Structure 1
Amino acid sequence: MMKNPEKTIGNLIEKQSVSYIASISEEGFPNMKAMLPPRKRTGIKEFWFTTNTSSMRVVQYLKNPNASIYFCDKRFYRGVMLVGTMEVLEDADTKQMIWREGDTMYYPQGVTDPDYCVLKFTAAQGRYYSNFHSESFDIG
C-alpha cells in the first residue's frame, strides 16, 4: 500500500508532459483524448485544463460531467487513473487564473476569447499501477 498517495501520485503527475482526459459520448462510450498537462492542480483532488469552448469534449461534459484523467510514466511503466467529474468554466476570474503568455496561439482574442474555456476536474477516487501491482484509493 502507498504510504503517501498524494506525494507519490503528485510526483508522477508533475513529471508528465501529456495527460489524458476521458468523457462520455451520447452513446455512453468513453472518449479519451491526449492533452497538455493541467495548468493548475490542488493536490490530487482538483485539476484545471484549458480547451476550446467549441470542442466535442465540452459538449460531452455539459451533458454528462462524469470523467476520468490518466497520467502515465512510460519510463517506469506506472500510472494513475483518477475518476470524478469535469466542470466547464467560462467565468473571467477562472480564465484569467490559468491564462499563460503565449496562449494567444490557441485563443487569438486573448483571455476573453469566446472559444477559450477552462475544464476543472474534481477527483473522487483513483487507481495507481506500479511494479506489477494496482491499488484503488479514495480521495477526500
Structure 2
Amino acid sequence: MMMRDAAQTLGNLIDKQTICIISSIDEEGFPNTKAMLAPRKRDGIKTFYLTTNTSSVRVSQYRKNPKAGLYFFDKRFFRGVLFKGTMEVLEDAKSKEMIWREGDTMYYPLGVTDPDYCVLRFTASSGRYYSNFKSENFSIDE
C-alpha cells in the first residue's frame, strides 16, 4: 500500500483542485465525461456535493443510471484519483441551501429556490490512486 492515510493524502489533493471531472452513462451505455467546478463540500473521501443545472444532460443521465465517476488530478505532480460510485440529484431546500454561495445567481438567476438549480451528491464506493508512475486500488470505509 502506497498511502498510509488515504483520507488525508487524497483530501489534500482534492482540496487544492478548482476543477473535477465527472462521468455519467448515456442511454447507449457509453461514458460521458465533463469538467466541472470542484465540489462545494465533501465529507471525507466518501461523499461530495456539486452544483449544476437541473435541466442539464448530466442530471437526466444520473436519474436514469446513477453509476458515476469523479476524478481529480494534480497536473504539476502528475497524480490523480478516480472515485467510482453513485450520483443522486437533490432538489430539497436543505441540500440547496447547504452549498449555495453568494454570486451563484450568475448561474441561477432566481436564487437558491431556482428550479434549474440542484445539488449532485456523489457517494464513492471505491477508487484508484495514481502517483509516482504507479496505481493502487482502494475501498471506501463506511
TM > 0.5 between the two? yes
The equivalent residue for 1:48 is 49
How many Å separate the matches in 2 of 1:137 and 1:37? 22
Unaligned residue ranges in structure 2 (runs of 5+): none
One-letter amino acid of the structure 2 residue matched with residue 12 of structure 1 = L
Question: TM-score when scaled to structure 2?
Answer: 0.98
Q: Shift in Å at residue 17 of structure 1?
A: 1.0
Residue 30 (structure 2) pairs with residue 29 (structure 1)? yes
How many Å separate the matches in 2 of 1:39 and 1:87? 15
How many Å separate the matches in 2 of 1:94 and 1:18? 21
The equivalent residue for 1:75 is 76
Q: Shift in Å at residue 134 of structure 1?
A: 0.1
Unaligned residue ranges in structure 1 (runs of 5+): none
Residue 124 (structure 2) pairs with residue 123 (structure 1)? yes
Secondary structure in 2 matching 1:101 = coil
CA root-mean-square deviation: 0.3
Mapping of 1:11-26 within 5 angstroms?
A: 11-26=12-27
Secondary structure in 2 matching 1:16 = coil
The equivalent residue for 2:65 is 64
Q: Shift in Å at residue 139 of structure 1?
A: 0.1
How many Å separate the matches in 1 of 2:115 and 2:80? 34
How many Å separate the matches in 2 of 1:3 and 1:120? 27
The equivalent residue for 1:3 is 4
Equivalent residue pairs, number = 140
How many Å separate the matches in 2 of 1:133 and 1:29? 27
The equivalent residue for 1:99 is 100
Residues 121-140 of structure 1: per-residue CA shift (max 9 Å, x gap): 00000000000110000001
Question: TM-score when scaled to structure 1?
Answer: 0.99
Q: Percent identity?
A: 71
Secondary structure in 1 matching 2:8 = helix
Residue 115 (structure 2) pairs with residue 114 (structure 1)? yes
One-letter amino acid of the structure 2 residue matched with residue 100 of structure 1 = R
